[in-house]
Structure 1
Amino acid sequence: MIDLPTGYTPCDQTPSVETYLRLRRIAGLSPKTGAGAEIGLPRTLIAVQILQDDQPVGMGRVVGDGALFVQVVDIAVDPAHQGRGLGKAIMARLMERMRTELPSGTYVSLLADGEAHRLYAQYGFTLTAPASVGMALKLP
């Protein structure tokens, strides 16, 4: 079970399109379209939100094929609630669920922006370079 500050509760539910777009925007993540969110969010394998007074203030998701390869994505916390360990709580809950819901040997990856790799290292993630490097392409 994850530890949260008083007044916050975990919710193992995929965020709504509106919540997803809002949290990404205010947390400074790259923008996504509503149309894309409507297609992608129902395909979430594992999700967690952090609520305060029934309002989502943080989220994280796991996407992928569910057995061979998955990726941790969309870790976002409302800036008004940052610095309270909510990002750690989101990661802790995602890790709990991955360990119980995904088969042994599943390859879990993520892309860490800036210094976020320090957070993810606390959960066993290691830098892959120079053996491999992340690459990306955004379709026009």
Structure 2
Amino acid sequence: MDETKAFSIVSALANGVNPLTGEVFPADSPYQTADVVRALFLVLWILERRPKPRSRASTADNAGKPWSSDEDQRLLTQFDEGMSIADLARGHLRTVAGIQARLEKHGRVTPAMNASARRFADSNGRSRTADAPAG
């Protein structure tokens, strides 16, 4: 059962409604007692306020998948144009670590550099990393 459906069922019970039929529970139902209603509303309150788990798949669908030559070229072009590693990760649906590893493989960054490495323009106005050769 998914969380949304479970939340809907508990919400109906807390409101004194049978989640299967939509009928209001009779006054003598256990779901209408003060302590049960309070407990159900407390559970709903806790569920609403807890942090939602981030799904890796929703942000990094391509994580672990092979890189095509076209994607590699697009990555390198975007990096050379000054796009941040975080933006590259979002755009390529990969993790920051995956982007950093790919840039290391292509010699654009060194392992000692991190996602916040300073970038500056060379004499031709192209962005490059601090330890990349000018030219």
Higher relative contact order by CA 8 Å / sep ≥ 6: 1 or 2?
A: 1
Q: Which has the higher strand share?
A: 1
Verify same fold: TM over 0.5: no
The structure with the largest alpha-carbon Rg is 2
Q: Which has the higher helix share?
A: 2
TM-score by length of 2: 0.25
